[in-house]
Amino acid sequence: MEYLKNTNLKKKMYTGLLLVVMMLQVGIGGVPVGNTTTIQAERTVYITRTGSKYHTHKCGNGTYFPAALSEAKSYGLTPCKKCFPNGEPSNRSSSSSKSNSSRTSHHVVKEHIVINKTQKTLLKGEYFQLKVSGTSKSVTWSSNNKNVAKVTSKGKVTAVGKGRTTITAKAGGTKKTCKIIVESPVLSKKSVVLEPNQSKTIKLQGCSFHVRWKSSDSSIVCVKNGKLTAKSVGTARVTAMVHNKKYSCKVSVRKPQIEWLEFEEEEIELNTNESCSLSFVTEPYSANDYYDVKCITSNANVVTAEIDGYNSIYIEAQGKEGSATVTVIMGNKRTKCKVYVKKMS
């Protein structure tokens, strides 16, 4: 019995000593008791009482203790992925000498900055403001093609000329970009000549934006989606509007060109006391709406002639035998009819 008591006493003493050693290694100093020369040769890491990782520095909440890398590994600890992004480190000390002071590496976390636009389409001469957030550092702005778009030190972007470029914002070691497209639209026609009831379509070329169209006088010409329709003779301006930019086209509506003008008969005969109406035709038929019509007789003592309604003249014999030529003039066209006056029995 005495032997068993002694044996149990020895086990308790041994267990107590082992606990003291562990407390000295982990709880008190975080550095194992022993030859300090070995500790100086090893890499120093930081651990906590309850954590499962070792770190390059105090990278979280809680109380951290310095420890040799080999000791941290002996406790079953693994490297912190944030502190050791390349995996398990070597066991070399970061110290440049054999002194007790060691150089501690610090993990630099890049700032995550956000830019308010990653792509923007502008018309030449337009501008807008770029902004970045998520950084306390100063921001440097640059354009890789200042002939297309330029940017101020405050991020104000101005469209200079047609093309594409990239605006870059740099803050510390981080950068963000915004692609810029600059359009310089032009009208397919600067001036158009139409006749009444004719139509023509013009386009604002090189523009991806919605275009609004407007006529200065819709009684002369109206416009819808770039399609012009002439209404009456006169001049008006048709304007294409995009944002605050305007592009205009002069529209002239002229009288229709007369293709031909002819009497229905080339010659007629009348009695000395007779009269008649003589019609003429035009192409286009509506030419009479736009031109003055003149009627002339070569011998008013034989016959007289005057306008009589739409595309018609009135001819009257004057009681004498003879002949005369009646001429109708419209625009730059004219037509003639020979009139013979005879005394009929």
Q: What is the pLDDT of residues 282-338, one digit of tens each?
A: 999 889 899 999 999 999 999 999 999 889 999 999 999 999 999 999 999 999 999
Q: How far apart are CA 331 and CA 56, in angstroms?
A: 100
- Is 260-342 the same fold as 114-183? yes
Question: What are the tens digits of pLDDT across the range 174-211?
Answer: 999 999 999 999 999 999 999 999 999 999 999 999 99
Q: How far apart are CA 10 and CA 241, in angstroms?
A: 100
Alpha helices in the chain (DSSP H): 2-22, 36-41, 69-74
Q: Is residue 92's pLDDT more than 90?
A: no
Planar angle of CA 199, 204, 210, nearest 5 degrees? 105
Q: Is residue 39's pLDDT more than 60?
A: no
Q: How many CB atoms lie within 10 A of CB 305?
A: 22
Per-domain boundaries in the chain: 2-79, 114-183, 186-253, 260-342
- The CATH number assigned to the domain with range 114-183 reads 2.60.40.1080
Q: Is residue 127's pLDDT more than 50?
A: yes
Q: What is the mean pLDDT of residues 69-85?
A: 84
What is the predicted pLDDT for the residue at 74?
81
In CATH terms, the fold of domain 260-342 is Immunoglobulin-like (2.60.40)
What is the predicted pLDDT for the residue at 75?
79
Q: Check whether the bond before 256 is cis (ω within 30° of 0).
A: no
At 170, the amino acid letter reads: K
Planar angle of CA 211, 212, 214, nearest 5 degrees? 140
Q: With bands split at pLDDT 50, 70 and 90, how would you rate the model's confidence at 126?
A: very high
Q: Is residue 12's pLDDT more than 60?
A: no
Question: What are the tens digits of pLDDT across the range 206-262?
Answer: 999 999 999 999 999 999 999 999 999 999 999 999 998 999 999 999 999 999 999
Of residues 103 and 85, more confidence is placed in: 85
What is the predicted pLDDT for the residue at 172?
85
Average pLDDT value over all residues in the chain = 84
Q: How far apart are CA 151 and CA 170, in angstroms?
A: 13
Please say whether the structural domain 186-253 has been given the CATH code 1.10.10.10: no
Q: With bands split at pLDDT 50, 70 and 90, how would you rate the model's confidence at 66?
A: confident
Q: How far apart are CA 218 and CA 199, in angstroms?
A: 14
Residue 221 near residue 236 (C-beta atoms within 8 A): yes
Task: At 15, list the tokens.
Answer: 């267990």
